[in-house]
A = this chain, B = another copy of it.
Amino acid sequence: MKALPERIDAHRMHGGWQYRYRHPSASTGTLMTYSVFVPPAAKDGRAPHVVYFLAGLTCNDLNFTQKSGAQRVAAELNLLLVMPDTSPRGDEVADDEGYDLGQGAGFYLNASQAPWSSHFRMYDYLSQELPGIINAQFAVSGRESVMGHSMGGHGALVMALRQPGRFRSVSAFAPIVSPSTVPWGKKAFTAYLGADEASWAAWDSCALLRDGSARPLPVLIDQGEDDEFLDSQLQPERLAQEAKARHWPLTLRRHAGYDHSYFFIASFVEDHLRFHAGYLNA
């Protein structure tokens, strides 16, 4: 018998509802928080498709909820948006002094190393537990897409690549596409997965494309050219090259002057939702 998620916030918005929930998670062994935008009931009675948004380092479920402006477009397109938190949290949960490891920095994987392995199981949470909750809580179509930002862009890509057939499309703003080879990813993977780099490939988008197990799906990536992390942490063209070599439908757009912030996300989120709606409705 599962405890129902507790609704801890509700706001009418764009004719629909912006909700926030908290629930005890079997995956992480902690209380987890997520936000949901439920679009207004469709005139033709169609159930909404679901789009997950995975946030970046230091964020939680509220950043995209408050700053993206996505709900306006989701209301128009009859999309139900789900914004999970970026990690387990709480006094009993391991943490690190850096902003890029521990609470707020779960990297959407299952940790194998102590002390992280007891709670940091975001992949199980997002691949199994949360979709089960959402599908039970709301009358949705059963079709899903996934998107994310930075660490959450990595999360969205890994979610889609590791679960062939689950998502109709995937998109990302300024994603970490090759975590095994950049400072953010090397620090996190060493801590969560251990020093043996052979275990990292299962959580690395570029490696997942190279190993041939992933099935092609439509990918949209937007990248700001004035993003301070572009050269050191992101380098999305590396994923674009892997995709091109395998004839994947990946579009990488570079935008002059844009940075890593939610002002960048807000500027292009409409394109992402229309991209997903196209494949979800097909």
Q: Which residues of A contact B (CB under 8 A)?
A: 11-15, 18, 66-67, 69, 71-72, 224, 226, 255, 257-259, 261-264, 266-267, 270
Check if A258 sits within 8 Å of B12, measured CB to CB. Answer: yes
Cα distance A66–B264 in the bound complex, in angstroms: 11
Cα distance A131–B259 in the bound complex, in angstroms: 29
Cα distance A263–B262 in the bound complex, in angstroms: 17
Cα distance A15–B270 in the bound complex, in angstroms: 14
Check if B266 sits within 8 Å of A12, measured CB to CB. Answer: no
CB-defined A-B contacts under 8 Å, sample of 23: A11-B263, A12-B224, A12-B226, A12-B255, A12-B258, A12-B263, A12-B264, A12-B267, A13-B263, A13-B264, A13-B266, A14-B266, A14-B267, A18-B263, A66-B66, A66-B67, A66-B262, A67-B67, A69-B266, A71-B263, A71-B266, A72-B267, A72-B270
- Nearest CB in chain B: distance from A84 CB, A: 19
- Nearest CB in chain B: distance from A144 CB, A: 24
Check if A11 sits within 8 Å of B72, measured CB to CB. Answer: no
Residues in B whose Cβ lies below 8 Å from that of A226: 12
- Nearest CB in chain B: distance from A24 CB, A: 27
Residue of B nearest to A12 (CB): B257
Residues in B whose Cβ lies below 8 Å from that of A69: 69, 72, 266
Residue of B nearest to A261 (CB): B11
Residues in B whose Cβ lies below 8 Å from that of A261: 11
Residues in B whose Cβ lies below 8 Å from that of A259: 11-12
Cα distance A226–B11 in the bound complex, in angstroms: 10
User: Which 4 A-B pairs give the minimum distances between C-beta atoms?
Assistant: A69-B69, A12-B257, A11-B263, A13-B263
Cα distance A202–B14 in the bound complex, in angstroms: 36
- Nearest CB in chain B: distance from A162 CB, A: 33
Residue of B nearest to A10 (CB): B259
Residue of B nearest to A18 (CB): B263
Residues in B whose Cβ lies below 8 Å from that of A15: 267
Cα distance A152–B85 in the bound complex, in angstroms: 33
Check if B266 sits within 8 Å of A72, measured CB to CB. Answer: yes
- Nearest CB in chain B: distance from A228 CB, A: 12
Residues in B whose Cβ lies below 8 Å from that of A13: 263-264, 266-267
